[in-house]
A and B are shown apart, each in its own frame.
Chain A
Amino acid sequence: MIDAGRGADLALIDADASQRWTYDELRSAAREVAGALALPAKGLVFVFARNDLSSVAAYLGAVEAGHAAALLDAGAQAPLKSALVEAYRPDFVVEPGIGGRPAVRRRDAPARRVHPDLEILLATSGTTGSPKLARLSRRNVESNARAIGQYLGLDASERACASLPLHYSFGMSVLNSHLAAGACVVLTGEAMTRPAFWEKLSAHRCTSLAGVPYSFEIMRRVGYEKLLPPSVRTLLQAGGKMSEALVLEFDRFMKARDGRLFVMYGQTEASPRIAYVPPERLPQKAGSAGVAIPGGSLSVEDGEVVYRGPNVMLGYAESSADLLRGDELGGVLRTGDLGRLDADGFLYITGRRKRFSKVYGLRLALDDVEVRLRERGPAAVVGGDDRITGFCEFGDEPSLKALARELAALYGVNAAAFDLRRVDALPLKSNGKIDYDRLPKTHGPGRDPSPAPLQP
């Protein structure tokens, strides 16, 4: 994965710890971790990751040692972490450490075989509350990193700001694609709402910045025109459909500075990149998810978007026993998204087969949320961009607010994502099922109208 990087070139800058590694130093750090992960056979390593050097060393070290590595959120709540450990029984649990050295703990694992092709496990965002993981092979991850490098035109002169979490497939792909191109990755845990983020972006002369649609709304509200340093030539957007107005605005802005906005589409199940809009096709193709990445192909079958390519996952896992399974999809991913292709082969997403909401880049299954609410009483859940509204026949304002916080903690999103409202009675169809069309109308995305409202 880091083959292209030349020895003395910079591979990583930890902008928060003010530490940097060359490719030689990164390789030797990964080797050191691999040495601490010695086992007689292929095992499973849980890498609880933060955006720091130790987490990258842990991830690459686990892969170097020949194990399967699950990239997970170091900031997740303790009960969620232990549920995952319980379900998968990893041989090692690795947590972030200081000075680029992760903390490795050996655990008692069951005797089992891990499939030789399995290399990375990632939480599929639709199931954050459950232990379901996507199983990815080396071929999946490497082919995707190379395809991304190809359409972005990455080379060793690039310096990507990696502020998205590494356990998030988009964040992982920024790291992988740049290391595969011999470029430098700047790691930070700072948020775009902090002045320090913009200072670091500028101080380290980053050339690109990746974000979900909400990141672009933040950029607009904090004044990206002044804050984006001239070194930034490329903006990468994925993680949900961004409004056409924002696509047009950022496309115009970037082109005016001789830069580029890439609008992209993907799923964790595709390691994750599936499609991208070539910047020269904007603004004409604003609103599109783009064309298939190099090496992949797109079709629409019975209204559903189907992707074929070498980056389609092996399958899902839900427990330790599933680690033995091999390729179950044969390179064909039914995305669950509804869409259409135009005459030029550009994909337009029109909806979801199952009920999902994209909340700040994360895909949450509405039915999953609904099941959790129904543990307390009758409830129905509807979703919009960045907000999930639950209508409950129980509770009062304070208790529903507390419940919203609980849900948010469970799924690892901000409490603003959940709006729980008390209703006297849920509208029912004649068959006794909830009539979602007759639920009170929710006004758009998860934010209040303010003097200059952020567009959804």
Chain B
Amino acid sequence: MNRLERAFAEALGLPAKTDFAALEYSRNDYWDSVAHMRLVAEIEKTFGVRFDYEEVLALSSYSKAAEMLKKRGLSVDD
């Protein structure tokens, strides 16, 4: 798992063999509003970033999260 996958697994309590690329809000039982706030905090902590309000709402899939980090010039790999 890369750093972002680990953050998702930790925050949403997902098993390691999850298909992270296909992960979307509300398509996954573990990803509800409570888990969402936890996920945002976990990614912020892992990557030392602070998402703005719009980003907190827009973070609706694994690929969206990866894109937001990429925009900041951050790599999800170790």
Asked whether A360 and B50 contact (CB < 8 A) given A404-B13, A405-B13, the answer is no
Per a CB cutoff under 8 Å, which of B32, B40, B42 touches A191?
B32
Give Cα distance in the complex from A191 to B31, angstroms.
11
A406 CB → nearest B CB, Å: 11
Asked whether A448 and B45 contact (CB < 8 A) given A194-B25, A218-B33, A415-B35, the answer is yes
Interface residues on B, range: 20 to 34
A190 CB → nearest B CB, Å: 9
With both beta carbons as reference points, the residue of chain B lying nearest to A405 in the complex is identified as: B13
Asked whether A360 and B37 contact (CB < 8 A) given A195-B57, A451-B50, the answer is no
Q: B58 — which chain A residues lie within 8 A by C-beta?
A: 195
- Chain A count of residues within 8 A CB distance of the other chain: 29
Q: A194 — which chain B residues lie within 8 A by C-beta?
A: 25-26, 33, 57, 60
Mark out the residues of chain A between 186 and 228 whose CB falls within 8 Å of any chain B CB in the assembled complex.
191-195, 198, 214, 217-218, 221-223, 226-227
With both beta carbons as reference points, the residue of chain B lying nearest to A452 in the complex is identified as: B50
Q: A82 — which chain B residues lie within 8 A by C-beta?
A: none
Give Cα distance in the complex from A192 to B36, angstroms.
10
Main SS at interface, chain B: helix
Kindly supply a per-residue 1/0 record for chain B positions 20-43, scoring 1 wherever the CB is within 8 Å of any chain A CB and 0 otherwise. Answer: 000001100010111111101110
Q: Is A447 an interface residue (CB 8 A)?
A: yes
Q: Does B37 contact A193, Cβ atoms closer than 8 Å?
A: yes
Q: B60 — which chain A residues lie within 8 A by C-beta?
A: 194
Asked whether A226 and B34 contact (CB < 8 A) given A405-B13, A415-B13, the answer is no
Q: B54 — which chain A residues lie within 8 A by C-beta?
A: 223
A266 CB → nearest B CB, Å: 22
Q: B57 — which chain A residues lie within 8 A by C-beta?
A: 193-195, 198, 222
Q: Is A80 an interface residue (CB 8 A)?
A: no
Q: A223 — which chain B residues lie within 8 A by C-beta?
A: 52-54, 56
Give Cα distance in the complex from A448 to B32, angstroms.
17
Q: A405 — which chain B residues lie within 8 A by C-beta?
A: 13, 30
Q: Does B35 contact A414, Cβ atoms closer than 8 Å?
A: yes
Give Cα distance in the complex from A256 to B66, angstroms.
38
Give Cα distance in the complex from A222 to B60, angstroms.
13
Q: B37 — which chain A residues lie within 8 A by C-beta?
A: 193, 217-218, 221, 447, 454
Among A191, A194, A222, A226, chain B packs the most CB atoms within 10 A around the CB of A222
Q: Does A448 contact B41, Cβ atoms closer than 8 Å?
A: yes
A201 CB → nearest B CB, Å: 13
With both beta carbons as reference points, the residue of chain A lying nearest to B58 in the complex is identified as: A195
Per a CB cutoff under 8 Å, which of B25, B38, B45, B52 touches A416?
B38
Q: B34 — which chain A residues lie within 8 A by C-beta?
A: 214, 360, 413-414, 416-417
Q: Is A450 an interface residue (CB 8 A)?
A: yes
Give Cα distance in the complex from A405 to B32, angstroms.
14
Q: Does A448 contact B53, Cβ atoms closer than 8 Å?
A: no
A370 CB → nearest B CB, Å: 21
Asked whether A415 and B30 contact (CB < 8 A) given A217-B37, A404-B13, A450-B45, the answer is yes
Q: B56 — which chain A residues lie within 8 A by C-beta?
A: 193, 221-223
Q: Does B45 contact A193, Cβ atoms closer than 8 Å?
A: no
Q: Does B32 contact A414, Cβ atoms closer than 8 Å?
A: yes
Per a CB cutoff under 8 Å, which of B25, B26, B42 touches A448?
B42
Q: Is A113 an interface residue (CB 8 A)?
A: no
Q: B44 — which chain A residues lie within 8 A by C-beta?
A: 450-451
Asked whether A450 and B41 contact (CB < 8 A) given A221-B56, A222-B56, A414-B35, the answer is yes
Q: Is A325 an interface residue (CB 8 A)?
A: no
Asked whether A193 and B13 contact (CB < 8 A) given A221-B40, A223-B53, A448-B45, the answer is no
Give Cα distance in the complex from A413 to B32, angstroms.
10
Give Cα distance in the complex from A194 to B38, angstroms.
15
Kindly supply a per-residue 1/0 record for chain A positions 433-456, scoring 1 wherever the CB is within 8 Å of any chain B CB and 0 otherwise. Answer: 000000000000001101110100
Mark out the residues of chain B between 1 and 29 whose CB falls within 8 Å of any chain A CB in the assembled complex.
11-13, 25-26
Besides the contacts A193-B56, A413-B34, A415-B30, what 8 more A-B pairs have beta carbons closer than 8 Å? A191-B36, A193-B33, A193-B36, A194-B57, A223-B56, A401-B13, A416-B38, A448-B42
User: Can you give 18 A-B contacts (C-beta < 8 A)?
Assistant: A193-B56, A194-B33, A195-B58, A217-B37, A221-B40, A222-B53, A222-B56, A222-B57, A223-B52, A405-B13, A415-B13, A416-B13, A447-B37, A447-B41, A448-B38, A450-B40, A451-B50, A454-B37
Interchain residue pairs A-B with the least CB separation, the first 10:
A223-B53, A414-B34, A191-B33, A450-B41, A193-B36, A193-B33, A415-B13, A195-B57, A451-B50, A416-B38
